[in-house]
Every structure is written in C-alpha cells, then in structure tokens.
A and B are shown apart, each in its own frame.
Chain A
Amino acid sequence: MNANYELPLEDAGYSFGFLDEYAKKEVRRCILKAISIPGYQTPYASREMPMGRGFGTGGLQLTLSLIGEDDTLKVIDQGSDDSVNAVNLRQFVQLTCPGVEVTEKTQEATLIQSRHRIPEKQLTEQQILVLQVPYPDALVVVEPSEARRKVMHGEADYSRLLVKLYEDVVRFDEITISHRYPTRINGHYVIDPSPIPRWDVPRLHQSPALVLLGAGREKKIYAVPPYTLAEPLVFDDIAFRVEDFRDANGKRIACRCCGSTVSFLDELIDDAGNVTHQCSDSAYCEEEQETISARKQA
C-alpha cells in the first residue's frame, strides 16, 4: 500500500509479520517436514498470539511465517470475507505486515487463510491455502492417548476409526459426518481436514495449490501437498457423497442472490419461517451477480 515503505536494514527490532524471526524459522522448518510427510501432524513450538483461542492462531502463525511484501492476502471465515473474525485477522496482518495487499477476490490472492471453507473457485499453483484447525487428530474419537495415536498413525492403523464410521452406516444407512470428514492423504495418514463440509473434501484431492493446516492450541501443522491423493475414508458398499442440494422434486436448489446451482449453499430461515438458500462463498456469489448484471447491460 505504502510504496515508500523501507525495511529497517540493521534493526534488531525488525518485526514484519509480528512474530520474531526465530518463531518464523521454527514454523518454516515444520512446514517443510509437513509437506515431506503428507498428512502427518508435525509438532512445533507455538508462540502466544495477541488474541484468544478459537480465533485461528494456528492458521495465523502459518500465514505470518509465509507472508512477504509481494503477497496478496485473502481471509475468509465460513465462506465470508466480511465476518468479524475475518476482518479482525485481515486488519491484524495489514497492521503487522506493511506492504502486503489484501483482496476479497479468490483469483487475486497468493495466500488464502480460511476457516471452515475452501473457496468455490479452483485454486492454482500460484496460491497457498491455509486452513485453521480446532481439532487436528482424526483418531481422537477412538483413542484418548496421544502416545498411542502417534503409533497408530505411524503404522497407518485406522481399523478402529473405520469401525466407528461403520456404526454410523449401520444406523443411518450412510455416513452422516457433515464436517471434518476423515481423509487419507497419499495412502497413509488420515487427517481431520478441519471443519470444512464434505463438499470441500474433493478439492483437497490432486489440488494444484499447496494446502497447509494449522492447529494453534495443539501446536500441530500438517499439509496436503499439491497433486497428492486425498481420499475420504469409505467402505466398498457405501460411496462418499457430497451434500445434496435438491428440493423435494429432485431439482437442484439455486442461490437466491446469484442463481448458481453449482455452489455450496447455506440455508437461511426468515422471520416468517421461509427457507431460502444462498452461496456460502460470498466472494464467489458477488462475482456471479456482477457477471449477470454485466450480461444484462450488454
């Protein structure tokens, strides 16, 4: 933004990116191991951040360790660039990283920090997606001991997790997990892909963009490298299915704002009790609306 900004060359107090350089190097070394061991929860020494837990400190530490003056950052929370959380995180980065551009347009961003969604627009090799993770370990539902979970992960022993999933199948005839769907990376580690909907899980598979996941409280970083297998855990007789947005007549429901029938929809209920649907990805929805109004003018 300020083109005249100059780095203080010999200043020990240099603190672009808020974190001190030692904290960044720790996170950077951890990221490289996380990429080299796809899906493995790589431990790191997490620094205290000036915001409460649940505000994405794990994601923010990743972003601050990655970001440079040439970057353009997008921050989204549950699909929206305008939520209080997203605005606060974006302002924090703007304050501590002079020179960094921010954007709401997915295709303009080089770095995208997100909570609970992957953008609708296909990411590219020029982009990195950082996902905030509240609970990093998919095995925690079947094994309380972290020491034992580490062994199970190392051996790729997910038999107990599969049994747990199968109980769901027996009871409901399909896997009902709506978020955090256990996903196997490169045929070995099973990850908790953060609270993204099932809709977003296939976007991890063979993604052109690097995906990094950060859990601040648990002090873990894991990665889905580009062009890597990401397979939701399934059984032979029950296929993995993304959310089904069809009405009672089997017709695909459209977004009430932009009319899209290919995006992930949020369900809204107004005061009168009427149910409507709207794109969860607000930047995608706005762009669709702009395209439509441009077409009308033409």
Chain B
Amino acid sequence: MKNEMTMVEADIWHPAQQQQLFRSLLDAFSYPGRIQTCTAQAEPWLALLGALLDGQTTLSDSQDMLEESIWPKLEAQRVPYELAAFILLDGSQAPEMVPSLGTLEAPEGGATLLLRVASLHEESAGALRLNLTGPGIRQPVTISVEGLHADWIAARNDWVSSFPLGVELVLCDAQRFVALPRTTRIVIGGAA
C-alpha cells in the first residue's frame, strides 16, 4: 500500500508537473474565486506545497497533516505558526492564532495559508456562501464551501483590514482549490 501511495504522489515532485501546478495556481491568484482543478495525482494541498516549497522557505503544520516522510521532499524549514511563510491547516477548526501579516515595508512577509476543506462549489448551494469582489474579479462571484469554519472569514477579514498587510488563503478540497488573496473582499452570505 505504502509503495502504491509513493507511486501516486511521484508526479508532484517532477518539475514539469510543478510548472503546470504553478500555472493553475497563477490562474487561481489572478482570478480569485475561480475554482481550479488539481492536475496532479495527489490532493491539491500536498501538490501545491510540492510546487512552491524548497529549503529557502518555511512551513507550519501544527496539526501534523503531513506524513513525516514528506518533509525531506518538501525541504522546507519547519517553524512555529506565527513565523511561517506557508501554513497548512484543517479549515473545519476555528483559527486560534494570528499568522504573519508582513510589515508596511515588506508586506510580502504575510503568510500563505492552505486550508483543507470538505468541498468547494461554484454555485451558492453549500454551507458557507462567500461573495467575492476585488482585483481579478470582473463581476462579483459567489462560491460556497463545505467544511470551513465560519470564524476563518471573520478572522481573515480582520487580518487584511490594513492593506498592504495581510494573508493569502488557498482553500483545497480533495480535487480542487481556490485562492483568496488579501485584496479580495469577502462577504459571508453573499448574493444568492
């Protein structure tokens, strides 16, 4: 079984696959609210970490979502939540701490959070409806999310309230992902 698992994940460590994943991520950040399909043979949160991380950057995984064998492949430095450039969390649990928001002179220090959720939907049928406007969004969009604790949106809206400080969220279900950069205005409930 273990061996099979490794086979399945192997493609996310390949440069050509990482380039494709990055381009999907680029689309996700350029057009917030557009749900992207992960082309790799792994769940998006893992595939995206593989595409972005190396020894020059930092990761927090306070809920131990990653298998120990994955860490050497990611090469990222393991650091506490509040210091991490990338943060991996289960989105069904409420946020507990404030991540790095960057500074006025170096706002790029704001963290990127990958939150595992149950499912993402284009239509506004799911449990938590998010109405999105801002850069990259031509017409207001509504997406809905299952398995994201509603406190995340309130906390995130607070963290991005003094631009240019803020954080980027990437919500990942089992096959797809969506990016919510700090410039996206998120209103819960949204237009039906």
Question: Is B one of A's binding partners?
Answer: yes
Smallest Cβ-Cβ distance to B29: which chain A residue: A35
- Whether, in the assembled complex, A188 has its beta carbon less than 8 Å from a beta carbon of chain B, the answer is yes
Give the contacting residue for A225; candidates B15, B104, B135; CB below 8 A: B135
The answer to whether B26 and A66 have CB atoms under 8 Å apart is: yes
Residues of B within 8 A of A (CB-CB), count: 40
Considering residues B14, B19, B137, B181, which has the most beta carbons from chain A within 10 angstroms of its beta carbon? B19
Contact (A155, B104) CB under 8 Å given A28-B52, A37-B164:
yes
- Whether, in the assembled complex, A196 has its beta carbon less than 8 Å from a beta carbon of chain B, the answer is no
What sequence of 0s and 1s flags, for each residue 53-70 of chain B, a beta carbon within 8 Å of any chain A beta carbon? 111110000000000000
- A29 to B55, alpha carbons, bound, how many Å? 13
Interface class of chain B by DSSP: loop
B-chain residues with CB within 8 Å of residue A22 when the two chains form the complex: 54-56
Q: Which of A12-54 contact B (CB under 8 A)?
A: 14, 16-17, 21-22, 24-26, 28-38, 40, 42-43
Smallest Cβ-Cβ distance to B53: which chain A residue: A25
- Whether, in the assembled complex, B186 has its beta carbon less than 8 Å from a beta carbon of chain A, the answer is no
Considering residues B20, B22, B54, B103, which has the most beta carbons from chain A within 10 angstroms of its beta carbon? B22
B-chain residues with CB within 8 Å of residue A210 when the two chains form the complex: 26, 30
Counting chain A residues whose Cβ lies within 8 A of the other chain, the interface size class is 35 or more
- A32 to B181, alpha carbons, bound, how many Å? 9
- A287 to B138, alpha carbons, bound, how many Å? 30
- A273 to B135, alpha carbons, bound, how many Å? 48
What sequence of 0s and 1s flags, for each residue 43-84 of chain A, a beta carbon within 8 Å of any chain B beta carbon? 100000000000000000000001111000000000000000
- Whether, in the assembled complex, B131 has its beta carbon less than 8 Å from a beta carbon of chain A, the answer is no
The answer to whether A36 and B168 have CB atoms under 8 Å apart is: yes
- A254 to B181, alpha carbons, bound, how many Å? 44
- A54 to B72, alpha carbons, bound, how many Å? 39
Q: List 27 A-B contacts (CB under 8 A).
A: A7-B15, A7-B16, A17-B19, A25-B53, A28-B51, A32-B26, A33-B110, A33-B168, A34-B108, A36-B29, A36-B181, A36-B182, A37-B107, A37-B108, A40-B107, A40-B108, A66-B22, A68-B23, A147-B105, A154-B103, A188-B164, A225-B29, A225-B135, A225-B136, A225-B183, A227-B135, A227-B136
Closest 3 CB pairs of A and B: A154-B104, A36-B181, A228-B135
Interface residues of B (CB under 8 A from A): 14-16, 18-20, 22-23, 25-26, 29-31, 51-57, 85, 103-108, 110, 112, 135-138, 163-164, 166, 168, 181-183
